Amino acid sequence: MPEKFNDRVVFSLSEVAQSVQKTLLQRYSSTFWVKAEMNKLNYYHYSGHCYPELVEKKDGKIIAQFKSTLWKDDYETINNNFLHILKEPLKDSIKILFSAKITYDAVYGLSLRITDIDPSFTLGDLEREKQETIARLRTENLFTLNKQQTFPLLPQRIAVISVETSKGYADFLKICSQNPWGYAFFHFLFPSLLQGEKAVDSIINQLSRIRRVKHHFDVVVIVRGGGGDVGLSCYNNYKLAREIACFPLPVITGIGHATNETVVEMVAYRNLITPTKSAEFLIQAFHNFSVPVNKATDTIKQFALGFINEQKYKWLHTSRYLRSVAINALQTHHTFIGNFRQTITMRSIFYISNNKSQLIQYGQSVFKGTKNTLLNSSKFIGLTLTSLKKSHINFHLSHQNALLSIQKHINALDPVNVLKRGYSISYYKGKIIRKYTDLKKDDTITTVLYDGTLKSKIISTQKSHTNDPENKL
């Protein structure tokens, strides 16, 4: 009850709150539909309740803001509807059309209690975002940019963006590594979130990492599995779609759904729907290369075998022909040689018979001539020997006298005899001194005499102007 204070009616705070609550209940007794942007869902796992923050924006500025509540049972029903219709869960930053009732609590204040949300309204908004992204990429001439990338002849080095524990990633690796043809792939995982509002930044960050080492890879593969069609609205995001469209390597997507193709799948070099199909596509690229090579190999083998067989046949034919010709030639020449041998034998016998007496006469004449020549030569040799003995004695005597004369001359030139006559030999550092320029002041020299040696120090040197030995050093 209100109180009196200095002629004033005073209400307690709870009484005011009760009055406001009563007024709101009378004025807003039924639910009504409201459209707004759900800035944050504020879902609490331990209770299952949500406390969404609702805003309305104009020109990027918030012009209205309201708190709201979404109780656990209502949230589960609404979220299941979203998953069924949108293939997306209820999440932050989406526009919603919701049925609500105004409530007021003395402690928590004014809020909207959400009882239902129409997913078709949000579906239209998401589709509108998708179309806006497509239109913007087309306007910027980026929509088909990644499709224009040159696909490698053998896409062997693969940068994979996926969740390490996802089934889709495991399927992709299994198909690549266990292909029955033994094609070898190198793959490196760049782990990323692949659904939800945080997936956009996560995928872009991994693409940036790959861009820095792009020379190590041939293609980029984004694979996702096990999530069905849930949480794919992030693949309509403009920033993510633009990054993939402008990426310097071909991007292949296999994010695991078959309906309502996303913008990222549209702008990628190739969308293969599932991780398994993505792996099979890469293997097919190897097939496209290996099949013509194998066919060419078979063609070359067949041609080579045919050529070898043809040459073998020609060789056998030629060898048989040569053998036949050689046998005929041998037989012909064998007969000719036999006849020629008989002719030579007969002619030799005939010639020897006719010239036998003449040969005997020649033999006797040669014997007599040889005997006379030997007798004459023996006499000549005797005379020559006597003459040689006399010449030898004379030669020996004449040269003996010459040797004695030379001996005397050598003795006269003997250094010892020269030293005896008063000459000397000077050395500097073990070498005979021949020029005064070989010495300089204060050099020590050794002088050899007949009966000893002298050590001297050079006081000065001077060039000789005459041939007088006394003017020399």
Domain of residue 78, CATH code: 2.40.50.140
Residue 390 lies in a domain: no
Q: Is the domain of 167 the same as that of 252? A: yes
> What is the C-alpha separation between 323 and 315, in angstroms, rounded?
12
Residue 16 lies in a domain: no
Q: What was the pLDDT predicted at 140?
A: 94
Of 274, 289, 304, the position where a domain reaches its end is 289
**Is the CA virtual torsion 414, 417, 421, 423 positive or negative?**
positive
Task: Determine if the pTM surpasses 0.75.
Answer: no
Q: Is the domain of 115 the same as that of 246? A: no
Domain count, the chain: 3
Residue 186 lies in a domain: yes
Residue 127 lies in a domain: no
Q: Letter for the amino acid at 42? A: N
> What is the C-alpha separation between 441 and 457, in angstroms, rounded?
8
Residue 66 lies in a domain: yes
Residue 4 lies in a domain: no
Q: Letter for the amino acid at 110? A: L
The CATH code of the domain that includes 198 is 3.40.50.280
Q: What was the pLDDT predicted at 231?
A: 62
Range of the domain at 240: 140-289
Question: Which residue spans within 28-77 are E strands per DSSP?
Answer: 32-40, 53-58, 61-69
Q: What was the pLDDT predicted at 471?
A: 43
Q: Is the domain of 82 the same as that of 192? A: no
Residue 324 lies in a domain: no
Residue 197 lies in a domain: yes
**Is the CA virtual torsion 426, 427, 431, 434 positive or negative?**
negative
> What is the C-alpha separation between 56 and 51, in angstroms, rounded?
17
Residue (of 68, 66, 90) closest to 79 by Cα position: 90
- pLDDT less than 50: residues of the chain: 228, 470-473
CB 34 within 8 A of CB 100: yes
Which residues are CB-contacts of 176 (< 8 A; sequence separation ≥ 6)? Answer: 158, 185, 187, 279, 282, 283
Of 254, 289, 324, the position where a domain reaches its end is 289
> What is the C-alpha separation between 231 and 194, in angstroms, rounded?
8
Give the tokens for residue 263: 């913008």
Give the tokens for residue 133: 């992204």
